């Protein structure tokens, strides 16, 4: 399997495109900053959000049971799924019972995680993703590269070409307005013909047994209110105690995600429509195990705003697909090792540990500290690649011996100055692959100190 | 059963209980509410029209939607030509050009307006219509989402929502396009209470 660094190298081969991607995401980060600066109590809100989530996780069983009881009282069917396969088969079962052949879906990273689309397609059910970005990548046959902007890696010309092929738009047309209108017409037909709608869940309210879904396009509601059957899939960590807590989270979510003061639609679903049916599927799929990992459980506070991706210098310059998981970027890099330490052992290293992710996180997850801690765990479990392992071993030996350290320093300063380039930059120098070695100083600090301070 | 397994795993793995923080009142001066609200609605791509009497509403609707052939309204003051109570299949609302609904409460900090399904006339109406107008009393403005949630009851009806503008997307190269899957425009009509 290709590692993150390899896929990042592929991404960077097209320099102009990498620059464009970098700038597009930084633009969103800048909008986020502007939006947050308009809220004087921003830091207090982050504290509150983190505290509310902390409390909820400490009584997650209680809140989930309360949520289930209240939802049932509202006339909602509640299902529990231990893993992705069970989630998919529950959803499929509901669809079979209603003889559903056409399903519309709004954005749900959970169903991406579970591979629901592929599963339902194998069983002869048409699934149409209705968020524009999601529809684009679905038509292209690609996974999302960002959790909020799934098609951020594509240029408008590529979308134009794709729509020309799939939706019969004019050849060469790439105006976003024109393409969006074409998608609107195409999706309207799908909404009207759908027999069921499935959404993700942003928040589930324990006290009232309802779920909240946030969109800008209105696609979740177009699906849910038109189809007689509505299904909402949620991870166990989506529950919050009371409706009043939405006050905190709705103020943080959109500002962190796109720099908007709130999403255009914040929909609260509590009971099915007249003559309709409403189902909620509560999914674990590794989350309860994550809850047991003391140093890492905080990651379950995540409200999926994507701010950590937009700010991350590695994400911006490697693209979402380089991570090889539904949720990329810094948050993905601390969630994935819990799923498979071996498979995702390279992701916690896809970071400079600059800490910007933790600074922008609206629920104050200590992302960069967790990245650092995962590295220790990965090394202990023996999943480091040979080069890193040997490099660490030698560095350890040298750094533990002051005399060796002094000698190596001298040697290195001499070598960088004197040796020809081909001897310094070769397959042994991984660090120098994309970077120049630093200008060597005339002397080490120690030498300077002995000369200038101790003698006097 | 999966539920028992999940609950048991959570009980085993959850951290020691921490306290639920209480949310302080974050409020600013009442005098700023209206201008802030108007600025935020406009920033979200909507426009604001100030009316003074319910009698103005029918004429206002005609000015707002001059080309609309099919108008649906959940307000008695505006008749429209769709009887929402007769609509069984929501798909029947697809041809609606313009809809007028009532808003219960507006939020100054972000221009969002709360409407329950009763206010919408029909759950799908604010989305499926090409253009949307919301009638809101300026007396029903609050400063932020905390105040909003303390005033509304989210489960008073089976569905309720905050609307903060026309449907939009920036999914193609981050360029903003108004009119994604829902309404293409939003007009907020501020109408003072008469009672």
Is residue A258 in a domain?
yes
A307 and A334 share one domain? yes
Per-residue pLDDT of B57-84, as tens digits, reads 999 999 999 999 999 999 999 989 998 9
3 state DSSP class of A196: strand
- Where in the sequence is the domain holding B180, given as residue range(s)? 32-190
Is residue B9 in a domain?
no
How far apart are the C-alpha atoms of A67 and A96, rounded to whole Å?
26
Contact list in A for residue B168 (CB cut-off 8 A) is 216-217, 264
Is residue A11 in a domain?
no
Mutant choice from B85, B180, B185, B186 vs A, greatest count of A C-beta within 10 A: B180
A373 and A407 share one domain? no
Is residue B8 in a domain?
no
How far apart are the C-alpha atoms of A92 and A76, rounded to whole Å?
17
A269 and A373 share one domain? no
Is residue B25 in a domain?
no
Contact list in B for residue A177 (CB cut-off 8 A) is 177
The token pair that represents A100 in the structure block: 């559903």
Is residue B113 in a domain?
yes
Q: What is the CATH number of the domain that holds B51?
A: 3.40.50.10420
What's the structural domain count of chain B? 1
Task: Tell whether A58 is within 8 A of chain B (Cβ).
Answer: yes
- Where in the sequence is the domain holding A443, given as residue range(s)? 389-454
A356 and A399 share one domain? no
Decide if A65 and B7 are in contact by the 8 Å CB cutoff. yes
What strands lie across the sheet with A126-129, from one edge to the other?
A: A77-81, A277-283, A229-235, A196-199, A102-105, A126-129
Has the ipTM of the complex gone over 0.95?
yes
Per-residue pLDDT of A368-408, as tens digits, reads 999 999 999 999 999 988 888 888 888 999 999 999 999 98
Check residue B100 and give its pLDDT. Answer: 97
Is residue B139 in a domain?
yes
Check residue A456 and give its pLDDT. Answer: 56
Per-residue pLDDT of A275-318, as tens digits, reads 999 999 999 999 999 999 999 999 999 999 999 999 999 999 99
Q: Which one, of B26, B41, B164, B43, lies nearest residue A39 by Cα? A: B26
Is residue A213 in a domain?
yes
Q: Which one, of A137, A95, A192, lies nearest residue A326 by Cα? A: A137
Domain boundary among A216, A251, A285: A285
Q: Diameter of chain A by CA atoms?
A: 92
Check residue A422 and give its pLDDT. Answer: 83
Contact list in A for residue B147 (CB cut-off 8 A) is 247
A333 and A415 share one domain? no
What's the structural domain count of chain A? 3
A164 and A267 share one domain? yes
State residue A167 phi and psi, 5-degree precision: -115, 10
A394 and A376 share one domain? no
A43 and A158 share one domain? yes
Domain boundary among A380, A402, A424: A380
How far apart are the C-alpha atoms of B120 and B141, rounded to whole Å?
19
């Amino acid at each position: 399997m290709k590692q993150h660094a390899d896929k990042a190298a592929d991404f960077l081969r097209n320099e102009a495109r990498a620059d464009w991607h970098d700038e597009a995401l930084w633009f969103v980060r800048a909008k986020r900053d502007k939006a947050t600066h308009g809220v004087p109590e921003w830091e207090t809100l982050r504290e509150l959000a983190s505290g509310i989530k902390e409390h909820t996780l400490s009584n997650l069983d209680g809140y989930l049971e309360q949520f289930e009881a209240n939802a049932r009282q509202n006339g909602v069917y509640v299902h529990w799924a231990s893993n992705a396969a069970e989630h998919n088969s529950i959803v499929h079962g509901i669809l079979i019972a209603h003889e559903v052949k056409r399903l519309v879906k709004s954005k749900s990273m959970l169903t991406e995680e579970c591979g629901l689309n592929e599963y339902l397609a194998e069983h002869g059910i048409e699934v149409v993703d209705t968020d524009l970005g999601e529809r684009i990548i679905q038509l292209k046959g690609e996974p999302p590269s960002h959790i909020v902007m799934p098609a951020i890696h594509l240029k408008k010309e590529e979308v134009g070409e794709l729509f020309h092929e799939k939706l019969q738009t004019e050849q060469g047309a790439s105006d976003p307005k024109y393409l969006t209108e074409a998608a609107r017409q195409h999706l309207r037909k799908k909404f009207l013909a759908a027999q069921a709608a499935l959404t993700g869940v942003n928040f589930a309210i324990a006290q009232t047994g309802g779920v909240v879904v946030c969109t800008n396009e209105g696609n979740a509601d177009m699906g849910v209110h038109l189809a007689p059957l509505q299904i909402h899939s949620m991870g166990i960590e989506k529950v919050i105690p009371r409706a009043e807590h939405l006050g905190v989270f709705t103020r943080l979510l959109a500002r962190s995600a796109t720099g908007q003061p709130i999403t255009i639609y914040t929909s609260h679903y509590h009971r099915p429509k007249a003559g309709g049916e409403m189902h909620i599927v509560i999914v674990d799929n590794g989350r309860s195990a994550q809850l047991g990992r003391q140093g890492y459980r905080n990651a379950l506070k995540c409200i999926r705003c994507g701010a950590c991706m937009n700010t991350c210098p590695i994400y911006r310059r490697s693209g979402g697909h380089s991570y090889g998981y539904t949720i990329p970027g810094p948050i993905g890099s601390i969630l994935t090792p819990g799923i498979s330490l071996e498979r995702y052992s390279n992701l916690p290293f896809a970071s400079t540990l600059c800490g910007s992710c933790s600074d922008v996180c609206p629920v104050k997850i200590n992302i960069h500290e967790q990245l650092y801690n995962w590295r220790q765990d990965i090394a202990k479990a023996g999943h480091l690649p040979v080069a890193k392992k040997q490099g660490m071993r030698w560095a350890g030996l040298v750094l533990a011996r002051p005399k060796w350290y002094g000698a190596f320093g001298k040697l290195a300063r001499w070598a960088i100055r004197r040796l020809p380039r081909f001897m310094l930059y070769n397959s042994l120098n991984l660090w120098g692959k994309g970077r120049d070695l630093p200008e060597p100083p005339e002397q080490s600090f120690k030498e300077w100190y002995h000369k200038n301070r101790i003698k006097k | 059963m999966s539920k028992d397994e999940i609950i048991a795993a959570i009980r085993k793995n959850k951290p020691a209980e921490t306290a639920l923080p209480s949310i302080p009142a974050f409020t600013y001066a009442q005098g700023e509410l209206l201008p802030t609200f108007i600025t935020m609605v406009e920033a979200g791509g909507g426009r604001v029209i100030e009316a003074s009497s319910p009698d103005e509403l029918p004429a206002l609707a005609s000015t707002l939607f001059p080309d609309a052939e099919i108008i649906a309204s959940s307000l008695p003051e505006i008749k429209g030509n769709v009887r929402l109570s007769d609509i069984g299949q929501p798909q029947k609302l697809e041809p609606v050009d313009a809809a007028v609904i009532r808003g219960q409460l507006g939020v100054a900090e972000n221009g969002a307006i709360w409407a329950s399904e009763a206010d919408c006339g029909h759950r799908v109406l604010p989305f499926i219509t090409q253009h949307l107008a919301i009638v809101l009393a300026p007396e029903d403005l609050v400063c932020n989402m905390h105040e909003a949630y303390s005033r509304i009851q989210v489960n008073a009806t089976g569905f309720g929502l905050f609307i903060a503008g026309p449907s939009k997307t920036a999914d193609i190269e981050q360029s903003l396009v108004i009119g994604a899957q829902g309404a293409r425009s939003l007009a907020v009509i501020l109408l003072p209470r008469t009672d």
